Every structure is written in C-alpha cells, then in structure tokens.
Amino acid sequence: MSEPLGIIGVGQTPYRKRNPDRSAAELVRLAVTEALADARIDLADVDFVVGGVAPDALSGIADIDKSAISVPGKPYLHVNTGGATGASALLAARTLIDAGRAGVVLVVALERMGQATTAQSIFNTIFDPIYEKDFVLTTITMAALRATMLMSRHGFTGEHWAGIASRNFTQATRNPLVVGAKARTVQDVLASPVLAWPIHLYEACPISEGACAVIVARGELARSRDTAWILGTGAYSDTYAMGDRMHRPEGSLIEMVPLRRAAVKAYREAGVTDPLRQIDVLELQAPFAIIEAMAYPALGLCDLEGNRDFVERAIVLDIPLTVNPSGGAQAANPVSATALVRIAEAALQVRHRAGDRQVPGARTALATGQGGATQFSTVCLLGSEAP
C-alpha cells in the first residue's frame, strides 16, 4: 500500500468583489508565498504545478494561467470544471503523486470574475437554448426551479432558504478573509430583492475574487509537517442537460446523484460508516442556500424525507457536526477557487489553525465541490491523523 499523502501548506488571499489594486499574478504570488511558508519549503522543492482557473471570457484576462500561475521550469497542468475547479485540481495533484510523477505538488486556483464584463451574460446562457429553452434556464432560475420542487414535494418554505443564508452570513463575520462580511437576519434575507422566485439576493453567492493555494505531499516530508491527511476522495459527473436528470430511475432534479456517488467513494476509502458522527466539520461549496439543503441527503447525513427537519436543526446548529464555519460559498464564492477554498478551510480546521472560526477539537473535515449547475461533484475528506 502506498504511503498516505496530505496538505502541508495553505495560503489564501482575502476574498472581495473586486481586487483592482492587485494583478492576477500578485494575487497568486500572495497565496503561493503563504502556502510555501506554511509548508516550510521553497518553490524549488515543488515538482509539479496544477492550476485551476476559468476560461478567458469568465476571468476577464486572456491566457491568465500562462501569465499568472505557471512557474518557469516546472511542469504545469490546467484544470477547469466550473465551481468544482479547485477540488478537481487537488484531485489531479493526488493522481500525479499516486502515479509517481511528483512528490510535492503546488495547487493554485484563481478567480478574477470582477474583471470580466461578459461573466453574467455567460451565466445567463450556459444552458442549451433549444433543448431547454422553455424554462429560460440560467444559474439562478435553475436554483429557483429546484427550490420550488423541494417546497412542493417536501414542505420547505422560503424561511428555510433564508435561515441557511442567515447562519452562513453570521459565521462569515468570524472569517477575516471575507472582506465586508456582515451578519444578516432571516428578515434581512427575505427583504432582499427577489432574483427568481423564491430565490432572494442574499440567498445567492456574491461575485468574489481571490486566490487559494495548497501544497500536497507524501512520505517523510508529510510526516515531518503539521499535515491535513487526505483520508478519502471522490469525483463524479452528471449530464449537461438538466432535463435529462428529471426522468431517470436513480434520482430526480433535486437529488445530487454525482455528489452521493462521490461521497460513497470517499467514505469507503476513509472507512466512514456514520458520516454524521464521524465528521466534525463540513465545508460545502453551495453557492445558493437551496444547494446546501440538497447536499445533506446526498452526503448521507439524512434521507430525503427527513431533510427538512435536518435543515431546521442545521440552521440553529443543533447537529453533531459544524457546517461552514468559514461562512462557505454563501459569503464568498471565487468560482474557480471556491472548491479549493473549501478544502483549504477543512485543512485549517483539522490542523487547528482556523483562528476565530476554529471548531474546537475538530479531527475530521469534509469539503465538497460543485461545478456546472452541479454537473461536476467532488468530495474530499481530511483528518488530523494519517490513515
């Protein structure tokens, strides 16, 4: 059996709507420098670089990975799977190490969406204009469609979505990396403008920019550092067309089949049989409150029939694990980096380096990634002890 591997260094920039005073390269440099210092290694010790960044039309900068992320003299791999990009980049790093192509990998994810004038129009036209035209699907109306289905079938109300958002915003106030974090009550959320009923403005993620970097290693280097050990990972894809998910026997539009499969794989690898009690911290890449609610049964924390009760308990922190102590993607969602941010936050938790957002005694943490209207799903389970 190969030696376990883990995250030995974490670096993050603050996340805000726009970073006009920092170039893309400067943001990357800040995150990478912090990660290297945390790992107590130099760039010369890195064998491979994996970069996660959006296409030019979303990043607002041509060939951004070539000018800002790749390192001269190091092999480089570009990854993009939408909102799951950062987690996909980490899984690529693990694959490179497992294959014997590297011993130490630098994973960097960057988001510069605030610089792109075309970003919102792309999100408004990402679905097939012929096959799914009757629904006028966008990233927001897709979330609204799923929310109304949950309300109709399982008794959810608008207060549930607002409650999830309110809890996340409150927890974000303890995270200094979320610039301008502000606590919002359920009433504040419900009073915000409706984007597409029943989704309100404060139930959707904000535009965010920033960079995140982690160092992945195995062997003696990992054993000699304060390491967040990778206990299990999983990744699966779904169909591109949303309509194709509505009539299959294995799940409906409100069931995250790829996330469920990814979780089963990660749990099996990690030996997790009771996730609700074996996991201490959950960092969800849920850009809408509704997506968080959908994730709970997919992760095996409850069943579909008990999901509403579980959500109500999660809102008031009455469950055995802590959800989104960082505030999650609800508070800051740098799309290409957001799934790696979730992993970085999980790593900080099991290393007990999360500052004011630290969950006391956290030993296991699970991070998810969702991309392409939940087309791509990833799960990464980290622990304080090597498997």
Question: What are phi and psi for residue 379, nearest 5 degrees?
Answer: -135, 135
Helices (H), 236-306: 257-270, 275-278, 289-298
Q: How far is CA 267 from CA 258, 264, 296, 326, in A?
A: 14, 5, 15, 23
Residue partners of 225: CB distance under 8 A and separation at least 6: 8, 9, 39, 40, 217
- Secondary structure element (H or E) that encloses residue 344, with its range: helix 335-350
Question: H helices of 112-256, where?
Answer: 119-123, 139-154, 158-172, 186-191, 220-223
Token pair of 158, please?
Answer: 């608008």
In this structure, are residues 175 and 193 in contact, taking their beta carbons and an 8 Å threshold?
no
Kindly give the confidence (pLDDT) of every residue in the chain, 387 residues in length, as a single tens digit, with 9 standing for 90 and above: 478 999 999 999 999 988 778 889 999 999 999 999 999 999 999 999 999 988 776 676 777 777 788 888 999 999 999 899 999 999 999 999 999 999 999 999 999 887 766 666 666 666 666 656 666 677 888 899 899 999 999 999 999 999 999 999 999 999 999 999 999 999 999 999 999 999 999 999 998 999 999 999 999 999 999 999 999 999 999 887 777 777 776 667 888 999 999 999 999 999 999 999 999 999 999 999 999 999 999 999 999 999 999 999 999 999 999 999 999 999 999 999 999 999 999 999 999 999 999 999 999 999 999 987 788 999 999 999 999
What is 5-118+207-214's CATH number? 3.40.47.10
Contacts with 332 (C-beta within 8 Å, 6 or more apart), sequence order: 15, 16, 172, 177, 178, 179, 205, 206, 208, 210, 338, 341
